[in-house]
DNA sequence: CTGAAAGCGCTTACAG
DNA sequence: CTGAAAGCGCTTACAG
């Protein structure tokens, strides 16, 4: 049906082996022959059949990306970063999402066999992610924001460091009673942010009242948490939400209750989603460069693919985050 | 290195042909043998090598998705819709973006050869999209929001109908001088929206002043257009922007100039991006179900893949949009 | 520098 | 119902 290497070979009066070598840029082809092969290939609009090529060469020029989801701001940015690096290396992306279902994840990973040279995996099932998560133990893979990689190299957002820095910022701006709205307990970042908040508070001598409200990273949970905070006996002078969406929900609750931010209560989030800069007052938050997270993960994977040997311990990198100070955490006026 | 069909065959004491038939659910395999094959395959954790399978079966169980970009709200939602349908059909997605470069697009399409059973293509190069755009003329493909498909089936957002409906809404709420902020001239939706606006205005008897400011779908262009509108000799009583991002930029310009929306000038956009509901006043707009656009396109493609024959004219479908009325287009008070 | 041939891991007529 | 064999379209030692 379509043009194969045989057609090119026939037209160019050479063997298929020579066509293959010429097209793949091998040295051992006469310049004149090479030229002829390229001309014929161009004229015939020949494109090598990928499956055939990867079956015989054992390389696919493709990396698999297995994510909990494909949509939303976060994954969109992540894909952007991965895509940019993939393109610059002439790689294709085979994308798969498993929608929170461990079985689906396993089947997605299995389906990658023979289709990809390596794998980028984001799995909230942190414990299972280590060994068993990846179908083929021989398949190079990098774990993305899923906690420690165990046997696999891992790249994580520095949620712990970011949470400490944010808590420090709130303390530095004169706040002492800082409540925290936590993310889902089974989420690695959520846990790290809570831990960072607690550890930084612990560095302040004297009694600092802390209050942790459980949330789930959704706006609604932030809204409920905001109301809960206001209903409490002692009102905090700052609220630190584990992500921006919850901070926004909280801000909404404060607005409804006539509580002013930052005059009555300061507010901070985490992630720096686009909305954070559009709301009023602008939300102080920690910027996470999601695209960079994806790009860097792929580069880590490419290192593995190139360097062959897993020499020593797998990398366990941390992506730095950046404090973005906006109106919502303005310095506290000393009490009149 | 890894487990192949031969290993399974050996362990199960049958030929590879029988293993293949059993695993692929063919009828002509003894129940007992089938059972044994499955047991062995499970025990060995056998997964068929995809490249080999697709090389011999000529099917890849994969559809290619070639888009101008991968990130941003729009593409994220699009991928979501495509992904959902793909998953429900056990299909994989090979994703590629070409970043506005026609050459890259061509190479992306070429690279899909032998890797996908069909193609979803979104191409702003409307004219080229018809025939030559797709590498292999034999490859089933559906054109996504790129204008008429020519030889290919196409699915487009009903931008024309939406723009008419929005213009009608502005007229119905008492506005007569309606300015329009246009999108990029090489964009199909932008052209259709402008056309809809003009056609609907033309239905109103009597002199209706219309003013079209050229934009590019970006917020900054909307901002500049807003300033330009205010600087004009006669100020319109409503502005219809070809998309929400420009409407938002325009709103920002109005705010800066102390012009009140909707009291001084009504404002409407198109797309219903999430921000549209968060700004103040809430933006009247046309909701476009992007996920549905993607899902429906893939379903169209699957119809083609199943039904074999291109019986008759290729489909040319239009995705309906929905008017969402918010504060920014409140009914005009009759002049005092 | 070039070609004939084996082989990658499957599927699928073709016999039986 | 089952197996031997051809073949999918490439790549890559192996000879020459």
pLDDT tens-place string over residues B162-197: 999 999 999 999 999 999 999 999 888 999 999 999
- Alpha carbon of B106 to those of B109, B117, B128, B187: distances in Å? 5, 17, 11, 19
Check residue A327 and give its pLDDT: 93
pLDDT of residue B190: 94
Would you say B137 and B131 are in contact if contact means Cβ atoms under 8 Å apart?
yes
Q: Answer yes or no: is pLDDT of A16 > 60.
A: yes
Q: Which CATH code of 3.40.50.620, 3.40.50.2300, 1.10.3210.10, 3.40.50.720 fits the domain covering A159-288+323-329? A: 3.40.50.2300
The predicted-structure confidence for A38-79, as pLDDT tens digits, reads as follows: 999 999 989 888 889 989 988 888 999 998 877 777 888 898
Q: Which ranges in chain A are annotated with CATH 3.40.50.2300?
A: 60-156+290-319, 159-288+323-329
Q: Which CATH architecture has domain A60-156+290-319?
A: 3-Layer(aba) Sandwich (3.40)
Whether residues B54 and A51 touch (CB distance < 8 A) is answered with yes
Closest nt to B28 (CA→C1')?
D1
Beta-ladder partners of A120:
A65, A142
0.85 exceeded by pTM: no
**CA distance to partner chain A, nearest, from residue B115 (Å):** 6
| Protein CA at A55 to nucleotide C1' at C7, angstroms | 10
Residue nearest to nucleotide C9 (CA to C1'): B52
Report chain B residues whose CB lies below 8 A from the CB of A87. 97, 99
User: Are B81 and B294 within 8 A, CB to CB?
Assistant: yes
Query: For residues A86 and A299, is the Cβ–Cβ distance under 8 A?
Result: no
What token pair was written down for A333? 């006026």
Q: What is the rounded CA–CA span in Å between residue B101 and residue A305?
A: 29
What CATH number should be reported for the domain whose range is B5-48? 1.10.260.40
Confidence at residue B14, expressed as pLDDT on a 0 to 100 scale: 92
- How far does the CA of residue A66 sit from the closest CA of chain B (Å)? 12
Cα distance between residue A126 and residue A133, in whole Å:
9
Backbone φ and ψ of A19, nearest 5°:
-60, -50
Are B302 and B285 in contact, with CB atoms under 8 Å apart?
Answer: no
Q: In chain D, which nucleotides are within 7 Å of a protein Cβ?
A: 1-5, 7-13
Instruction: Write out pLDDT tens, residues A291-319.
Output: 999 999 999 999 888 754 455 566 788 99
Residue A243: both structure tokens together: 């992500």
Give CA torsion, residues B34, B37, B38, B44, to 10 deg.
180
Q: What is the pLDDT along chain B (336 residues), one digit of tens a residue?
A: 588 999 999 999 999 999 999 999 888 888 899 999 999 999 998 988 888 998 998 888 899 999 887 767 788 889 889 988 998 888 888 888 887 788 888 878 877 877 889 999 988 664 444 444 555 667 888 999 887 767 788 999 999 999 999 999 999 999 999 999 999 998 889 999 999 999 999 998 865 767 899 999 988 899 999 999 999 888 999 999 999 999 999 998 998 899 999 999 999 999 998 778 878 889 999 999 999 999 999 999 998 887 544 555 667 899 999 999 999 998 876 644
CA A53 to C1' D16 (Å) is: 26
CB-based contact B161:B169 (threshold 8 Å):
no
Measured between alpha carbons, how far is B26 from A207 in angstroms, rounded to an integer? 72
pLDDT, residue A148, reads 72
For residue A97, give the chain B residue with the closest CA: B83
Tokens 């659910």, located at residue: B25
Res A36: pLDDT:
92
At A97 the pLDDT is 83
User: In chain B, which segments carry CATH 1.10.260.40?
Assistant: 5-48
DSSP state string for B121-143: E--S-HHHHTTTTSS-TTS-EEE
Contact B190, B217 (CB under 8 A): yes
Is A7 an 8 Å CB contact of chain B?
no
| Interface test mutation site (partner B, options A3, A51, A81, A245, max chain B beta carbons within 10 A) | A51
Mean pLDDT of chain A: 86
Distance of CA B188 to the CA centre of its chain: 12
Min Cα distance B264 → chain A (Å) is 23
Cβ(B282)–Cβ(B329) under 8 Å? no
């Amino acid at each position: 049906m379509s043009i194969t290497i045989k057609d090119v070979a026939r037209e160019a009066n050479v063997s298929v082996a020579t066509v293959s070598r010429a097209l793949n840029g091998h040295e051992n082809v006469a310049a004149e022959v090479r030229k002829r092969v390229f001309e014929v290939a161009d004229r015939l609009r020949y494109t090598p059949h990928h499956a055939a090529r990867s079956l015989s060469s054992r390389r696919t020029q493709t990396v698999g990306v297995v994510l909990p989801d494909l949509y939303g701001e976060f994954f969109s940015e992540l894909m952007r970063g991965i895509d940019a690096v993939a393109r610059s290396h002439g790689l294709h992306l085979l994308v798969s999402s498993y929608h929170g279902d461990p079985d689906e994840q396993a089947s997605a990973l299995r389906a990658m066999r023979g289709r990809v040279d390596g794998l980028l995996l984001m799995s909230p099932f942190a414990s299972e992610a280590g060994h068993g998560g990846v179908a083929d133990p021989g398949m190079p893979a990098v774990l993305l924001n899923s906690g420690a990689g165990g046997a696999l190299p891992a790249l994580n957002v520095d949620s712990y460091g970011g949470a400490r820095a944010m808590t420090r910022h709130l303390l530095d701006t004169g706040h002492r009673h800082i409540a925290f709205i936590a993310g889902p307990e089974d989420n690695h970042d959520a846990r790290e942010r809570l831990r960072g908040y607690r550890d930084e508070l612990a560095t302040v001598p004297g009694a600092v009242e802390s209050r942790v409200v459980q949330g789930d990273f959704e706006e609604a949970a932030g809204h409920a948490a905001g109301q809960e905070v206001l209903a409490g006996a002692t009102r905090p002078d700052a609220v630190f939400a584990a992500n921006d969406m919850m901070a926004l929900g909280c801000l909404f609750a404060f607005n409804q209750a006539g509580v002013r931010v930052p005059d009555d209560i300061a507010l901070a989030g985490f992630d720096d989603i686009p909305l954070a800069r559009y709301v009023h007052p602008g939300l102080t938050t920690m910027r996470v460069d999601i695209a960079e997270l994806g790009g860097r993960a792929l580069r880590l994977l490419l290192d593995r693919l190139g360097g062959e040997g897993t020499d020593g311990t797998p990398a366990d990198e941390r992506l730095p985050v950046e404090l973005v100070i906006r109106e919502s955490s303005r310095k506290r006026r000393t009490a009149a």
